[in-house]
């Protein structure tokens, strides 16, 4: 019922090999190529990609495993990855782990079964540590998060510097009791926390960091608890855009005006952070660059498997807005 390459060959009066070559980049005379193209149009032939992948042993597929697709940061990175992939004639399989190690293992297994060419992956800390180089059949580029040095290529933000910039700014504005709520699952949140603590130390201030799941609900709960305590912080730093939203919610619930009673700063320059009044001070990540660099690292790795491992560190941009004004 479905039309196959044999039907096209018959219609064009050539062999299936010639049809295959005409559709690919094989050497075919112009005359036969035109006959084949006409036959393809006449029959409505569409190649079967499963067959092509099986036979050619090339899936032209890259896997993209992100930690939370609800996080616009990952949506934006995905778009950049997909643009670069399609430009190179590759498709991408997008998977979402919800920061869950089991689902990470599941999707990594799926990638093997799909025989992907390579994977771009934002792993949890646990998985990043456990994942040894060479244990998978394809190269892996870590994104947003890194693992043990030298294990995998990666592209990450200069997290410590970004956190420090936020602390420096808050201190310059006159804040001293600056708290931080950081995600509990990623190396990146750890680095942001370390950067925060180091910067606080440099200013002779006492760091006060807490951790929770890197989503809006958990951050709202955590920030809500903290802000209801005596000696609550007068400024709060959150380690991603979802958590920042949770903190805004918590402040609203407690009727704490921003920045009157609480200064707020965090990561990811999502459109809504500018829409609030006052806007939120954030670190903007070069999302398109992150995705493009990841694909580029992956292609380089495919070309030169034995090349030394590379880590690309990109700088964030500090976007100052009203939420951190002097009280």
Partner DNA sequence: CTGAAAGCGCTTACAG
Residues that bind a second copy (CB under 8 A): 2, 46-51, 53-54, 59, 69-70, 75, 78-79, 82, 91, 93-94, 96, 109-110, 112-115, 137, 216, 245, 248-249, 252, 271-272, 275-277
Which residues, in sequence order, are CB contacts of 244 under 8 Å at separation 6+?
A: 219, 238, 264, 266, 267, 268, 273, 280, 282
In this structure, the number of other CB atoms found within 10 A of the CB of residue 108 comes to 22
Residue 45 or 107 with smaller CB distance to DNA: 45
User: C-beta of 113: minimal distance to a second copy in Å?
Assistant: 5
Contact of 163 with 199, CB cutoff 8 Å: yes
Residue 253 or 315 with smaller CB distance to a second copy: 253
Residue 24 or 148 with smaller CB distance to DNA: 24
Cα-based angle 139, 128, 190 (whole degrees, multiple of 5) = 135
Contact of 284 with 240, CB cutoff 8 Å: no
In three-state secondary structure terms, 63 is: strand
User: C-beta of 227: minimal distance to a second copy in Å?
Assistant: 17
Q: Which listed option, DNA, a second copy, none, makes contact with residue 70 (CB within 5 to 8 Å by class)? A: a second copy
Residue 15 or 112 with smaller CB distance to a second copy: 112
In three-state secondary structure terms, 161 is: helix
Q: Which listed option, a second copy, DNA, none, makes contact with residue 31 (CB within 5 to 8 Å by class)? A: DNA
Q: Among 15, 43, 112, 173, indicate the residue that binds DNA (CB under 7 A).
A: 15
Size of the site for DNA (CB under 7 A): 32
Supply the DSSP string of 227-296, one letter for each residue: HHSTT--SEEEESSHHHHHHHHHHHHHTT--TTTT-EEEEE---HHHHHSSSPPEEEEP-HHHHHHHHHH
The answer to whether 16 contacts DNA (rule: CB under 7 A) is yes
User: C-beta of 300: minimal distance to DNA in Å?
Assistant: 23
Contacts of DNA in 17-56 (CB under 7 A): 17-21, 23-24, 26-29, 31-33, 45-48, 51-52, 54-56
User: Given the structure tokens 């616009």, which residue do they identify?
Assistant: 72
Residue 38 or 106 with smaller CB distance to a second copy: 106
User: C-beta of 208: minimal distance to a second copy in Å?
Assistant: 25
Q: Which listed option, DNA, a second copy, none, makes contact with residue 27 (CB within 5 to 8 Å by class)? A: DNA
Q: Which listed option, DNA, a second copy, none, makes contact with residue 75 (CB within 5 to 8 Å by class)? A: a second copy
Residue 312 carries which DSSP code?
E
Residue 202 or 252 with smaller CB distance to a second copy: 252
User: Given the structure tokens 């694909």, which residue do they identify?
Assistant: 295
Look at residues 320, 326, 236, 323 and name the one whose alpha carbon lies nearest to residue 277.
323
Q: Which listed option, a second copy, DNA, none, makes contact with residue 78 (CB within 5 to 8 Å by class)? A: a second copy
Characterize the bridge pairing of strands 208-212 and 235-238.
Answer: unpaired
User: C-beta of 243: minimal distance to a second copy in Å?
Assistant: 13
Beta bridge partners of 118: 62
The answer to whether 57 contacts DNA (rule: CB under 7 A) is yes
Residue 200 or 216 with smaller CB distance to a second copy: 216
Which residues, in sequence order, are CB contacts of 17 under 8 Å at separation 6+?
A: none
Quote the crossing angle between the two packed helices 287-303 and 72-87, to the nearest 10°: 40
User: C-beta of 222: minimal distance to a second copy in Å?
Assistant: 17
The answer to whether 14 contacts DNA (rule: CB under 7 A) is yes
Binding site for DNA (CB under 7 A): 2, 4-6, 14-21, 23-24, 26-29, 31-33, 45-48, 51-52, 54-58
């Amino acid at each position: 019922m479905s039309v196959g390459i044999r039907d096209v060959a018959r219609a064009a009066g050539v062999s299936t090999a010639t049809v295959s070559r005409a559709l690919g980049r094989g050497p075919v005379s112009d005359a036969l190529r035109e006959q084949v193209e006409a036959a393809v149009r006449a029959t409505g032939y569409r190649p079967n990609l499963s067959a092509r992948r099986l036979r050619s042993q090339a899936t032209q597929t890259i896997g993209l495993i992100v930690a939370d697709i609800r996080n616009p940061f990952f949506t934006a990175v995905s778009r950049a990855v997909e643009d670069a992939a399609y430009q190179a004639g590759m498709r991408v399989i997008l998977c979402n782990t919800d920061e869950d190690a089991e689902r990470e293992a599941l999707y990594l297994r799926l990638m093997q079964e799909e025989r992907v060419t390579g994977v771009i992956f934002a792993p949890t800390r646990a998985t990043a540590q456990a994942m040894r180089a060479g244990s998978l059949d394809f190269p892996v580029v870590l994104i947003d998060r890194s693992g043990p040095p030298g294990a995998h290529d990666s592209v990450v933000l200069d997290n410590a510097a970004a956190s420090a910039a936020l602390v420096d700014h808050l201190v310059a504005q006159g804040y001293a009791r600056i708290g931080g709520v950081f995600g509990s699952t990623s190396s990146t949140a750890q680095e942001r926390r370390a950067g925060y603590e180091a910067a606080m130390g440099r200013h002779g201030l006492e760091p006060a960091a807490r951790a929770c799941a890197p989503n809006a609900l958990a951050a709202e709960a955590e920030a809500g608890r903290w802000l209801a305590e005596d000696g609550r912080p007068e400024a709060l730093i959150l380690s991603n855009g979802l958590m920042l939203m949770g903190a805004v919610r918590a402040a609203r619930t407690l009727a704490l005006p921003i920045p009157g009673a609480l200064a707020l700063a965090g990561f990811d320059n999502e459109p809504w952070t500018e829409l609030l009044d006052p806007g939120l001070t954030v670190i903007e990540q070069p999302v398109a660059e992150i995705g493009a660099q990841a694909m580029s690292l992956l292609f380089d790795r495919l070309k030169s498997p034995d090349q030394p491992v590379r880590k690309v560190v990109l700088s964030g941009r500090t976007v100052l807005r009203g939420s951190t004004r002097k009280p």
